[in-house]
Amino acid sequence: MMTQNAPNAIELRRLEKSFGLAKIIQGVDLAVEKGERHAIIGPNGAGKSTLFNLITGKYEPTAGQVYLHGQDVSGLKPFQINRMGLSRSFQITNIFPKMTVFENIRCGLLWSMGYKYSFWHLVNRQRGVSERAEEILEDINMVSRRDELAGVLTYAEQRALEIGITIAGGADIIMLDEPTAGMSASETTYMVDLIRKVTQDKTLIVVEHDMGVVFDLADRISVLVYGEIIATDTPQAVRENQTVQEAYLGSALEELH
């Protein structure tokens, strides 16, 4: 995998993270190709969220590097990483509750559309921004909720909005942290379709508990157990992998059936 010509979308080399004495991530190597849909699974406490936070710049690695399109981004701030084309959602809904749905989306757009810290544009008058925001609203099927406050939406709607904000900036790497957590079966199906739709032609990295979702969505799967990746392979191969079976998947798959 290391020998490819085009740089990988994301590449982790010997990534480590400790909190005090506890080593949560113990040397992870991982490469995610451009355009790939990659899922990270693992038991609770395996460090999936920590790994996410390391890649997106929320935490600084204790050792090792994160490469984004071949560039070393370890230790950069979240906003710097975001500007390089990586966007993420959160496990706990993380939106702007006091703003309308439309405005939430628009906040996701402003930087990437070049407005940055501008105080010489009026946001309402930037037709490009409004049109793009309307398009995204349509993509996530929330046109009818356009002017509601985000804080009053249903849980599933808030999750969808979260994905809308995440993709709004046009990042080519999308990282979703448990996008279907806490959803009913029908909501989950809807969400998976939505994710598939909005991440077309993009690199997707998703942390997920729901094995149905994972096997449905992912091109490849990495299994993280106690801060180490014990396998990275296609869904089929992972399903049959003995180590994975023993460490984690067996019980998880049983749950599924």
Partner 1 sequence: MSEQNTSMAKSSASAQPLVPIKSALPWLAAIAFLLFLPVVFPSGAALTIMNQMAMTIIFALAYNMLLGQAGMLSFGHAVYMGLGGFFCMHLLNQVEYNELYLPLPLLPVFGGLFGLFFAFLIGSFSTRRAGTVFAMISLGVGELIAACSIIIVVFFGGEEGVSGDRTMGPEVFGFDFASQQEVYYLTAIWLILAALGMYLFSRTPIGRIANAVRDNEERAEFLGYSQRNVRWISFCASGFFCGIAGALFAINFEILTEENLNLATSGSILLITFLGGVGFFIGPVIGAVVFTLLQTVLSLYTEIWQLYLGILFVLTVMFFPAGLTGLLAMHLRPWKLGKIGLLANPYAKMLAPALVLVGSGVALMEILFHARHASLGEEEMNLFGITFNSQDWLPTIVVVAIGAGAFYLVRLLAPQVKEAWDMANHAEGQ
Rounded to a whole number of angstroms, the minimum distance from the CB of residue 177 to partner 1 is 11
**Between 178 and 210, CB nearer to partner 1:** 178
Q: How far is the CB of 54 from partner 1 (least distance, A)?
A: 14
Shortest approach of partner 1 to residue 116 CB, angstroms? 7
Q: Whole-number minimum distance, CB 150 to partner 1, in Å?
A: 9
| Under 8 Å between Cβ of 54 and 25 | yes
* Residue whose CB is less far from partner 1, 53 or 222: 53
Token code pair at residue 30 = 């991982």
Residue 147 or 254: which CB sits closer to partner 1? 147
Q: Where are the alpha helices (DSSP H) in the chain?
A: 48-56, 78-83, 101-110, 127-139, 155-168, 185-198, 211-217, 235-240, 242-244, 250-256
- Nearest approach in angstroms of CB 132 to partner 1 is 13
Our CB check for partner 1 shows the closer of 96 and 190 to be: 96
165 vs 87: CA distance, rounded Å: 9
Q: Which amino acid is at 38?
A: H
Nearer to partner 1, 93 or 241 (CB): 93
CA angle 217, 222, 228 (to 5 degrees): 155
Beta partners for residue 63, in sequence order = 16
Contact status, residue 8 vs residue 67, Cβ threshold 8 Å? yes
Q: Under the rule (CB under 8 A), what is the footprint of partner 1? A: 56, 58, 77-79, 82-83, 87-88, 90, 94-100, 102-103, 106-108, 110-112, 115-125, 130, 146-147, 149, 165, 168-169
